[in-house]
Amino acid sequence: MLGLVGPTNWDAFKASEAAMAAAAADDAGTYELAKECLETNYYGAKRMIEAFLPLLQLSDSPKIVNVSSSMGKLKLIPSEQVKGVLNDAETLTEDTIDKLLNEFLQDFIENSLQTKGWPTFLSAYTVSKAAMNAYTRILAKKYPTFRINCVCPGYVKTDINNNTGRFSVEEGAEHPVRLALLPDDGPTGVFFVQKEVSSFVEYAVVTGANKGLGFEICRQLASNGITVVLTARDEKRGTEALEKLKGSGLSDLVVFHQLDVANPSSSASLADFVKTQFGKLDILVNNAGIVGAVIDWDAAAAGTYELAKECLETNYYGAKGMIEAFIPLLQLSDSPRIVNVSSGMGKLKNIPSERVKGLLNDTETLTEDKIDELLNEFLEDFKENSLESKGWPAFSSAYIVSKAAVNAYTRILAKNYPTFRINCVCPGYVKTDMNNYSGIISVQEGAKHPVRLAMLPDDGPSGVFFVQKEVASMKMELNPV
């Protein structure tokens, strides 16, 4: 086994004196240091494996363990082309990896790392570990009787990080040793973060994705090397959306599955599909939504009870049902993310009733049952034509209430699942058919914000409402503008 122990605690690593010195060297960099990093971390390990393969083949239980790092995950490499190559398990070869590493060194010499889409922080280290993770998969495929895996042992206290790590060397060493002692039917070609299975590939589900914002979210996630399940109610439109992605060269990273978020059996069917095909889910983006009113933007939004109910069923209960269906698969991910696409209209200042605002604002006692009770009240008041007298919004009332409920539910979820990163976001006033393309932001610009939250680091925020990239308060604002 050959390797440099890699960090999982990103903030702690960046804070360490050694890391900052390494980063400065990497950025200011010398070609010699970058080349030495690749020669040791990738080619050194590769040469050891090649030298010992004849002897390992004489063993009745051969094992290879490559000590890697979470910094070798593909999401840390900006280049879509590089991620696509390293992500292609079917056609990836050692020669392909060599070509990529030569490209990296050439771009390093030419001082064009950033423009060519390579990482700029500890670039050689990140690239060397990504190459090692990819090589591990090639080896496991080539030698099916071997158990060949790679592992990030955690942020271990060593002289590399001036002993600032979280784990003792004894704790860190347990994980490579466990893999070295795997039974003959144990996993192979797998990347572990400590004792948990991590994936070389991340999987995402995006609802309401056959057009507009949802379609662009799919495109941007796939461009980051993530395998995406594009969903839509209409199978024909979903298939057509998939065809459009072929022009972007991303069709291999996107699959279509029919989904009606308002139908629990449809959500369950999709969860079964993801479980069978991928075994886990890393990212869930709840984008599907409707206005719940017949829009006349020159006057007001006048709705019917049926439209209001459908709006709540889709925007709130649809998102909630998806989350409940996918929680078990998200719990199998080492970096689970939920992004609820919301709206600035869901801010509590848009609800006149002080009682309703108070209930949704109470982070300590707020529960899902209380949200259900409020939504039932809203529908009853809608039916009785007493929205205004009961303190509900009069304009686009169902839409506002549904998004306020989503924002509140996001906070509950973040509290219940502290290891997840769960946030909601208003992408801005995006040009879509929902607003007759009267928005001021393109779908490309709007999609950036949910995608950013879908790719947050493990120590990123949770339970937060963002308006585009800015943190917004879900609580009651005093003196709202």
pLDDT of residue 70: 85
Would the CATH topology of 10-198 be identical to that of 203-472?
yes
pLDDT of residue 10: 36
Instruction: State yes or no: pLDDT of 103 exceeds 60.
Output: yes
pLDDT of residue 17: 35
The span from the CA of 313 to the CA of 231, in Å, is 17
What are the structure tokens assigned to 307, written together?
A: 């439209």
User: pLDDT tens digits for 268-281?
Assistant: 999 999 998 888 99
Specify whether the CB–CB gap between 214 and 288 falls below 8 A.
yes
User: pLDDT tens digits for 242-255?
Assistant: 998 877 777 678 99
Let me know how many helices (H) and strands (E) the chain has, helices first. Answer: 17, 14
Q: Which of 154-158, 198-202, 279-283, 438-442 has the highest mean pLDDT?
A: 279-283
State CA 133 to chain mean position distance: 20
The runs of H, that is alpha helices, within 294-425 are 305-312, 319-330, 354-361, 368-383, 397-416
DSSP labels, 141-163: HH-TTSEEEEEE--SB--GGGTT
pLDDT of residue 272: 95
Instruction: State yes or no: pLDDT of 327 exceeds 50.
Output: yes
Cβ atoms within 10 Å of 361's Cβ, excluding its own = 15
| Burial of 116: CB neighbours in 10 Å, binned 0-12, 13-18, 19+ | middle
**Short-list 184, 321, 204, CA closest to 255:** 204
How many CA atoms are closer than 13 Å to the CA of 169, on its beta-carbon side?
Answer: 6
Q: Which CATH superfamily is domain 10-198 in?
A: NAD(P)-binding Rossmann-like Domain (3.40.50.720)
Specify whether the CB–CB gap between 429 and 441 falls below 8 A.
yes
The span from the CA of 99 to the CA of 77, in Å, is 16
pLDDT confidence of 9, banded at 50, 70, 90?
very low
With H, G, I as helix, E, B as strand and everything else as coil, classify residue 30.
coil
Specify whether the CB–CB gap between 448 and 220 falls below 8 A.
yes
**Short-list 258, 327, 292, CA closest to 405:** 292
pLDDT of residue 403: 95
Helices 235-246 and 212-223 cross at an angle (nearest 10°) of 40
| Burial of 292: CB neighbours in 10 Å, binned 0-12, 13-18, 19+ | buried
pLDDT confidence of 206, banded at 50, 70, 90?
very high
Specify whether the CB–CB gap between 75 and 129 falls below 8 A.
no
With H, G, I as helix, E, B as strand and everything else as coil, classify residue 242.
helix
pLDDT confidence of 165, banded at 50, 70, 90?
confident
- Percent above pLDDT 70 for the chain: 88
| Burial of 244: CB neighbours in 10 Å, binned 0-12, 13-18, 19+ | middle
Domain locations in the chain as residue ranges: 10-198, 203-472
User: pLDDT tens digits for 282-303?
Assistant: 999 999 876 554 443 333 344 6
pLDDT confidence of 50, banded at 50, 70, 90?
very high
The CATH number of 203-472 is 3.40.50.720
What are the structure tokens assigned to 471, written together?
A: 């943190």
Specify whether the CB–CB gap between 203 and 278 falls below 8 A.
yes
Specify whether the CB–CB gap between 175 and 151 falls below 8 A.
yes
pLDDT confidence of 473, banded at 50, 70, 90?
low
Instruction: State yes or no: pLDDT of 5 exceeds 70.
Output: no
Q: Mean per-residue pLDDT for 180-200?
A: 84
The span from the CA of 61 to the CA of 38, in Å, is 30
Catalytic residues: 399
The span from the CA of 39 to the CA of 124, in Å, is 10
Cβ atoms within 10 Å of 238's Cβ, excluding its own = 21
* DSSP state letter for 167: B
pLDDT confidence of 199, banded at 50, 70, 90?
low
Q: Mean per-residue pLDDT for 263-268?
A: 96
pLDDT of residue 297: 33
pLDDT confidence of 325, banded at 50, 70, 90?
very high
User: pLDDT tens digits for 383-412?
Assistant: 999 999 999 998 889 999 999 999 999 999
pLDDT of residue 173: 95
Work out the mean pLDDT of the chain and round it to a whole number.
86
What are the structure tokens assigned to 122, written together?
A: 């500890």
**Short-list 419, 422, 400, 425, CA closest to 411:** 422
